[in-house]
Amino acid sequence: MPQKFCCFTDRGEQMNGLSDRVFTKIIVYTPLDERILIEQLKEGDQSAFRKIVEAWQDMVYNTSIGIVQSPEDAEDVSQEVFVQVYESIHLFKGESKFSTWLYRITISKSMDHVRRKNRKKRFAFVKSLFGEQNESIIHPPDFNHPGIELDNKEQAQVLFKAIAKLPENQRISFTLHKVEGLSYQEISEAMNTSISAVESLLHRARHNLRKTLETYYRNNK
């Protein structure tokens, strides 16, 4: 069993990872440093933007990949998120945490992407009725999250398939909770809703997922 650990370098960078894997570097800023970076970005400082991207790129990418379920699409959405951050940083008033603001942009961009993809899928299906084949859009390959342990890959693939069938809010809350490991409080802030609403969403998500998985395993085992 690999040991999980983390440590800080003298530059305030947090190193964490598993003993048998490649290190991932997480840069953690104090709230004060965060505010300074945001002020610098508002003044158009490129190095501040670079620091912001490097500090939050994993968070944005991981959230996005959980929702859009495709590495290429998640990369695309993450880029869009940071472009949006650069262009609308003056709208960030500091009333919520910067990470909450980022989560909101990421969720909104990711869901836009999912809706656009679903529209394309429907259109491709209609086109296929008239003889034009577009298999890759109608039946995309199964999604494998890169952070899932090898032993759980197969089950996680089935679970992600079931998550994709959930209603939007249940899908978002479940993904934030499971993939990003956010607490109910953090999810409620990111989704701009109450904690009890998040509890209810997660309860319904689990119930629906169990039903979908039951149907899947009944037919396939």
Partner 1 sequence: MKKVNDLEQYIDSAMSSMDKVERASPGPFFFTRVQARLDSNQGRNVWDIASAFIARPVVAIGMVVIVILLNTSVLLKEPESSMVSNVQTEQSFADDYNVPVIAIYDLENNDQR
Of 35 and 207, which has the nearer Cβ to partner 1?
207
The structure tokens listed for 61 are 């990418």
Of 163 and 191, which has the nearer Cβ to partner 1?
163
CA-CA distances (angstroms) from residue 8 to 11, 99, 156, 171? 8, 20, 32, 34
Rounded Cα–Cα distance for residues 130 and 19 (Å): 54
Of 38 and 53, which has the nearer Cβ to partner 1?
53
Rounded Cα–Cα distance for residues 161 and 175 (Å): 12
Using CB under 8 A, pick the residue from 35, 42, 50, 120 that binds partner 1: 50
Beta-bridge partner residues of 8: 14
Of 4 and 11, which has the nearer Cβ to partner 1?
4
Q: Is 86 in the site for partner 1 (CB under 8 A)?
A: yes
Q: Which stretch binds partner 1 (CB under 8 A): 120-128, 156-164, 183-191, 192-200?
A: 156-164
Q: Is 123 in the site for partner 1 (CB under 8 A)?
A: no
Q: Is 156 in the site for partner 1 (CB under 8 A)?
A: yes
| Burial grade of 187 (CB within 10 A; 0-12, 13-18, 19 or more) | buried
Rounded Cα–Cα distance for residues 71 and 6 (Å): 26
Minimum separation from the CB atom of position 114 to partner 1 (A): 16
Minimum separation from the CB atom of position 146 to partner 1 (A): 5
Rounded Cα–Cα distance for residues 139 and 136 (Å): 5
Other Cβ atoms closer than 10 A to 143: 17
| Site mask for partner 1 (CB under 8 A), range 127-146, x = bound | ------------------xx
The torsion angle over the Cα atoms of residues 102, 106, 107 and 110, rounded to 10 degrees, is 180
Interface ranges with partner 1 (CB under 8 A): 18, 24, 50, 53-54, 57-59, 61-62, 65, 71, 74-75, 78-80, 82-83, 86-87, 145-149, 152, 155-156, 158-159, 162, 178-180, 206, 209-210, 213-214, 217-218, 221
